[in-house]
Structures are given as structure tokens and as C-alpha cells.
Structure 1
Amino acid sequence: MDAKAEGRSARKDHALDDRTDMTANFLGLPRTLPDGRAPAAVIFGAGHGSTYPGKDSTAHARAADAIRAASKADAGLLTHWDFDLGGPLFPDGLVACVDSGDLPTAMHDNAGNRALIEARTRAVLAEGAVPILLGGDDSVVIPFLAGFAEGGPIWILQIDAHIDWRDALDGERFGYSSPMRRASEMGHVAGMVQVGLRGVGSARPAEIEAARDFGSRFVTARELHAGGIDTALRHIPEGARVVVTLDCDGLDPAVMPGVIAPAPGGLSYTQATQLIAGLGRRARIVGFDLVELYPPADIGGLSALTAARLVINAIGAIVRQA
């Protein structure tokens, strides 16, 4: 073996094994990569966003830790074949994602939390990496999307049972019922596709009309079950920069029971991972968030495990982008 090959081999071993004291991180990933390499993606958590008056967001704030704990089973398998991805998570063997930990958010410090989330998102993007946010309830999505303002237009692919277009609820305009309404007001948001819609939620006819006036494309869960993932992906322009926002209640409660508003008939795990992979091939994933896991309602850790696998699939799609 020549010197260059030996160096590559040493770096690979170091990248996969240097997880000392990182057992609490997602997949045991390091906080920084060795040899000064820049990561393709950076994970961070935000337990609290904009909590409604009189509400308690503590349980949602436990979600990131639950997801990280569920990922431990795969932490020692980074070089193993992943059938969801058609190969190991990191195809060249070099770890390309880091977990930078949680932001110091605090319940009811709504403006402060939004500032923290937006600033961290901007900082990750400034490094040339893809931010991956672990919520928290759906309110953390608003400052996350705001953090993309300086990089050019983005599209949003939302996986959710609900459209989240309330202008305000209990006087709060930045709560978990409003992220897509606030996103529609951001000048850098070029369009959105909302997938998995079903049942009944906070949306009234006025919110449906407002979303349609903006140009949002609705793809109900029933439509996706009947027509496959192309019913959603065809609305995304080829080559577009896309942020994926995944509300756990977008999935069927048979595989994701740990949510606060379960609705039968949601996406399967396979459909969700196919959407992520298909999007990575059609467009460019520039951001990903997973929100609304509610640990007190989980059953046997199934929801946290499913959430962890969804994040792994997102990382896999991101590192495979050209």
C-alpha cells in the first residue's frame, strides 16, 4: 500500500472510530470532524420554540434526546449495509455528519428561542453544510426556515397531517399551528408542497383558501397512497433547493404513535423514506427538520426508533447528493 492509500485508510478508521464521549450524540457522531474536514450536514436540537400562553412544551423538548437514544442501536453499524440506502450510510466510509448538541432554549422565551434557532441555522449554512434540526414542537420550524433567507429561493416539502396555516392562536403568531403561514410570508420561500394531509385539524375554510391563494400544493395521504410519491414530487421543480419539514403526525400512528394528535391513514415509513430519497435525486435537500415527536405517547420506543431511522435516511440522501 502506498503512502497516500495508507493515509486515506488511517483517516477512514479515525473518522469511524473517533466517537469517544459522544455516546449521547445521534449515532455517536462527533461534534467536529477530524483533519479539519467540513461536514455535509450538522445536527442540532431545539427543545422549545414559541410556546402558547398557558401551555407546557416540556414533553416535546424531550424528543431530541429520545431520538438520539433510539439511534444508539445503529451507532456501531456505520460501515454496515443499509438496505434503505443501498449501501453504508457514508458511501466512502468517511463520516460526513456531526451532532453539535442542543440549543439552550427555554420554555416561553419565545423571541429568544427564535433568535437562537435562526442564528444556528444561518451559521450551519455559512459553513456550507445542511442543517438538520431535531424539535421540539412545530413552532421551531418558523425560525429554522427564516435562517435560509440569504441563500436564495427555497421550496418546502412538508410531511404533516395538517396544513399549519393559522395566522394566530391565543394571540401567538409563531406557534405550532402557524409555521406554513409564516413561511408563506418569507420572501425566499418560492413554493411549498404539503403531503400527508388527512382528517381534521385547526384549519378552517379561510386557512385552506389562504394556502391555495399562496399557491401551496396539497397532496392528501389518500392521494399519495393511491398514486405513489410522484403525486408529491412532480410539484417540486427539478434542481430546486428544498427544505424538508417532517411533522411526526404525518406518518400513520401504526408506526408513529408518539404524537399529540394522531390521525389514522398517514404515510408509511417506506413512503416517507421514498419521498426523502426521491427528493434527493430530483432536487437538492438544503435543510431537514423533524418535529412533534411526543415521547409520553410513544409505545415501546417505536416512534423514537422510526424518527431516528427517518433522520438516518435524510443524512443518507444528503451525502449522496451531487
Structure 2
Amino acid sequence: MTASPAFLGLNSHMPDGATPRMVIFGAAHGSTYRDKDSSGYATAANAIRAASQEDAPLVEHWDFDLGGPLFDGKPACCFDAGDLPTEMHDNARNRALIEAKTREILAMSAVPILLGGDDSVPIPFLAGFSDHGPIWIVQIDAHIDWRDELHGERHGYSNPMRRASEMGHIAGMVQVGMRGVGSARRTEIEAAEAYGSRFVTAREVHAHGVDAALRHVPEGARVVFTLDCDGLDPSLMPGVAARSPGGLTYTQVIDLIAGVGRRGRIVGFDLVELYPPADIDGISALTSARLVTNVIGTIARQP
């Protein structure tokens, strides 16, 4: 692991051998397409950590997003394990590192929280749950990511939901925030529909609220969130490689996180596709840090 500033100033391990409920880790690289440069994503995890530092002294303060302090008045139950030593284009090794770390955290009975990286890192992250199914996926994204292969690669950023659909421990998925012209051709739409994926477009959420998505999540489901930053509107999240107007708002996303926490149980979370070279005044990193904070607070309140 490489040294990095800890998210919210959290420890790099649990004190006195206490058992964590959550473990944060970063993965700069997943499976990069041939001749593509993913180096711009490599600073994303540390940009999120840096953006969280202003709130680090305020962890015990009242958080109005959560209706109380971050850890609900209890001792901190999360630590930041730093970044995996991934390398651009070392695809198979990167996938092995991410999957192994996910399994290691789950073996602690903790919830893994992954800071990416491009949208290829969810594939090994989700694979790491193979002994912990059945799992539902809630994906927030402008795109459905159902390409079977692209540029000869089947584990890249256009492929995660297609690969997840092939995993036996994945029980179903709800895909939220799609809009505009995305990565899907008719064949990908038909494949996703044949699998049984539930599409909830950004316009549906704007018209009907987050219940348009929550109603598809079974009561009591164990859920992994995978959040592509371009699922949010670029006015809040300009630091992405594929900006698309009309995305979800910050409040819609945190309401969806809280709603899933009440309806089921969040057992994993990844945030990907933050592209710091395109950010404006650090607003995307700040928004990302607040989203991760909301996930931590929601999980801390789960029974």
C-alpha cells in the first residue's frame, strides 16, 4: 500500500484490535483498454481524501445529511487502508489485487469502500463478493456499461455490469441515472433487459423521486453500490471524462443511499470515474468526499 492522507483523518487501522465495520481503500487502475491512457484517474482517491480534510476535525459534530454525528455518537468504526499498488495496463494483476483486498475486508465482517479508478475497478470488486451472495447491485451512472468487449478487452470501463450479470452471486441490479447518448447500442439494451436489469433514468428520478429506484430493491436485500461520478449532474460533478447534462443531484444520491440503507443493507460501495484533471475548483472531489461520508454514516446506522 502507498502512503496517503487518510480519509477524514481516520486511522490506518482499528485501535486496540477493535473490529471495523468499514474499511476504505483506493485502487487507481483496473483494466485499461489497449493504447488508452488512464493515468488521469490515478489521483482520484487522494483528491477525495484531501477534500475530506476540512471536515476531519468535525467528525463528532452534527451532520445534517445524517441527522446526527457521523458515527451516531459511537466510537469510530472505520479505517483507511490506503491505496493498492496497481499499475496502468497491468490489468490481470490489478484485478487480482482488488479482488483479494475485497475478500480480505469481507473476511473481517467489514464493509469494503473502494475509491477508484476508472469504471473497470468494480468488476474485481464485485467478484470479491462471490462467497457472500446473494448480492444486489445499485448502480448510479449515466451509462449502463453492458458492452461485452471493447478494443479486445472484456474487463474495461464499458463492461462492468455485463461482467456482473455473469457472476452467480449477483441476484439482480437496479441501474439509475441513465440519460443522453451513452455506451449502449440496441444489442446491449436487449441483453440487459433479458437479464432482468431494472433501468431508472435520470428523468424518472427527477419526476418521481428516488422511490422510482428504491421500489426495485427487494426488502432486506444485501446491496453493493457502484457509483460512477458521471451519474451526477456536471454542475455538481464536472470532474468526469464524459459530462452529460441532466444528471442526479447530490440530494437525490444521498437520499438513495439512505433509502437503500433503510430498505436493505449496504454491504459494499465503490466510487469511480472521478477525473481530477477535469475538475473545477475541486468541487467534484468535495462532492465525492461528501458522498463517501454519507455512505459511512448510513452503514454506521445499520443494525
Do both proteins adopt the same fold according to a TM-score greater than 0.5, normalized to the shorter chain? Answer: yes
Q: 1:54 aligns with which of 12, 35, 40?
A: 35
SS in 2 for 1:244: strand
- 2:30–2:121 CA contact under 8 A, matched in 1: yes
Give the TM-score normalised by structure 1: 0.93
- State the distance in 2 between where 1:148 and 1:34 align: 26
Give the TM-score normalised by structure 2: 0.98
Report the counterpart of residue 187 of structure 2 in structure 1: 206
Within-5 A mapping of 1:238-249: 238-249=219-230
- State the distance in 2 between where 1:100 and 1:232 align: 32
Q: 2:125 aligns with which of 121, 140, 144?
A: 144
Within-5 A mapping of 1:143-292: 143-292=124-273
Higher helix share: 1
Q: CA deviation at 1:53?
A: 0.4
Report the counterpart of residue 99 of structure 2 in structure 1: 118
Q: 1:90 aligns with which of 71, 95, 100?
A: 71
Q: CA deviation at 1:23?
A: 7.8
Q: CA deviation at 1:131?
A: 0.1
Q: 2:46 aligns with which of 55, 65, 68?
A: 65
- 2:4–2:46 CA contact under 8 A, matched in 1: no
- State the distance in 1 between where 2:260 and 2:132 align: 19
- 1:138–1:175 CA contact under 8 A, matched in 2: yes
Is 1:38 aligned to 2:19, yes or no? yes
Count of residues paired in the alignment:
301
Is 1:321 aligned to 2:287, yes or no? no
- State the distance in 2 between where 1:295 and 1:250 align: 16
- For 1:7-51, what per-residue CA distance to the aligned partner results, in whole angstroms no more than 9, with x for missing partners? xxxxxxxxxxxxxxx981100100111121111100000000000
- State the distance in 2 between where 1:280 and 1:100 align: 24
- State the distance in 1 between where 2:295 and 2:163 align: 24
- State the distance in 1 between where 2:264 and 2:16 align: 30
Superposition RMSD on alpha carbons, in Å?
Answer: 0.9
- 1:79–1:93 CA contact under 8 A, matched in 2: no
- Unaligned segments of structure 2, at least 5 residues: none
- State the distance in 1 between where 2:145 and 2:213 align: 18
Q: CA deviation at 1:152?
A: 1.9
